[in-house]
Amino acid sequence: MSKNLLAKGKTADKVFTLIVYLAALFVLVVLVGIILSLVVQSIPSFKAFGFSFLWSSDWQPSKGQFGALIPIVGTLVTSLIALLIATPVSFFTAVFLVYICPPKLKGIIKNLLELLAAVPSIVFGMFGLMVFAPIFSEYFQIPLQNIIGNVPFIGALVAGPAWGLGLLPAGIILAIMVIPFITSTMTDIFNQSPKILLESAYGMGLTRWESINNIIVPSCRVGLVSGVMLGLGRALGETMAVAFVIGNTFNLHGISLYQPLSTITSVIANNFAEASEGLYTAVLLELGLILFVITFLVLLASKAIIKFSARKDGK
């Protein structure tokens, strides 16, 4: 009887191992397939423009002139704005939920965050265009422009018409979208931190802020960085919400955050349906490949930051 059970156990173990290997192989095959398809389909574009495609700002489909500089700039700037806003908001929200919030209120806030994360991106885009943009223009952009518009250098950041559409509004909408994801990750990281660390800090006479800032945050630094990078990846790939509020233009004027521009995802979404076969389609697929490379570089940067943080902590 024991031999039969042992044989069945070995068979189940082999089947389980095979399933695990196949699952991992499936993910690898899908990833390689996506990369190869993007590379092959974008070859006509690369042959036509070469590496100059990356720093060219031309975008005139009727003349067959294309450049990726404007979408790349728009993608990076809006994602950076989103990260600068979402990171501190998510951090303090996570700290509040784990260390300060009453238990009854904690459940309500968590449910609201989950609901916010489940809202479709197109709803955020419609909200941004129809509700947020007019309010943002009248009560923030115009007053801010009146206050700092004549200040050297800083004034250039708010130059131009305050339409409520552009880089800054798109970045803020992106921040609202990624806050639930970063907050959820940071909350889980703080919950995994040993409670004895906080209790020991209190026993040594540290205040709540000193305990969290000097004891908890350093011990959770790697996880916190991972949460931020997760939010950045989410911001880089967002499409419809950005397409509604960024303005979708290809004219780069100075460093103003008020100016309308385009991102890689918004260009692909707005042009793919009307793109003719051949060079036009290849250009859009090359933009997708560029976005993939940017995301990959962000992943490498996050890994490097995590390793540096771990080395700094002596791990």
What ranges do the domains of the chain cover?
Answer: 70-313
Closest CA to 123 of 204, 241, 290, 5: 241
193: helix, strand or coil: coil
Which pLDDT value is given to residue 217? 85
Q: What are phi and psi of 247, to 5 degrees?
A: 105, -30
Distance CA 174, CA 113 (A): 15
Place of tokens 């004549």: 150
Which pLDDT value is given to residue 76? 93
- Average pLDDT over the chain reads 87
Which pLDDT value is given to residue 16? 86
Three-point CA angle 246, 252, 256, nearest 5°: 70
The predicted-structure confidence for 100-133, as pLDDT tens digits, reads as follows 888 889 888 988 988 888 888 899 999 999 999 9
Distance CA 83, CA 184 (A): 15
Which pLDDT value is given to residue 308? 75
Is residue 314's pLDDT more than 60?
A: no
Beta-bridged to residue 183, according to DSSP, are: none
pTM for the structure as a whole: 0.88
Rounded percentage of the chain residues whose pLDDT exceeds 90: 38
Which pLDDT value is given to residue 40? 92
Which pLDDT value is given to residue 103? 85
More confident residue, 22 or 314: 22
Residue 166 near residue 244, CB atoms below 8 Å: no
Return the structure tokens found at 308: 């540096």
The predicted-structure confidence for 132-156, as pLDDT tens digits, reads as follows 999 999 999 999 998 988 888 888 8
- Please give the CATH superfamily to which domain 70-313 belongs: MetI-like (1.10.3720.10)
Length of the chain: 315
Closest CA to 160 of 262, 261, 253: 253
Which pLDDT value is given to residue 88? 94
Which pLDDT value is given to residue 220? 84
Distance CA 166, CA 156 (A): 15
Residue 67 near residue 59, CB atoms below 8 Å: yes
Place of tokens 């885009």: 125
Mean pLDDT value across residues 223-231: 86
Which pLDDT value is given to residue 11? 79
The predicted-structure confidence for 174-210, as pLDDT tens digits, reads as follows 999 999 999 999 999 988 887 787 778 777 878 888 8
Which pLDDT value is given to residue 310? 66
Is residue 8's pLDDT more than 70?
A: no
- Reported confidence tier of residue 7, pLDDT bands at 50, 70, 90: low
| DSSP E strand stretches across 140-226 | none
Residue 122 near residue 241, CB atoms below 8 Å: yes
CB neighbours of 104 closer than 8 A, spacing ≥ 6?
none
Residue 53 near residue 286, CB atoms below 8 Å: yes
Is residue 291's pLDDT more than 60?
A: yes
CA atoms within 13 A on the CB side of 92: 5
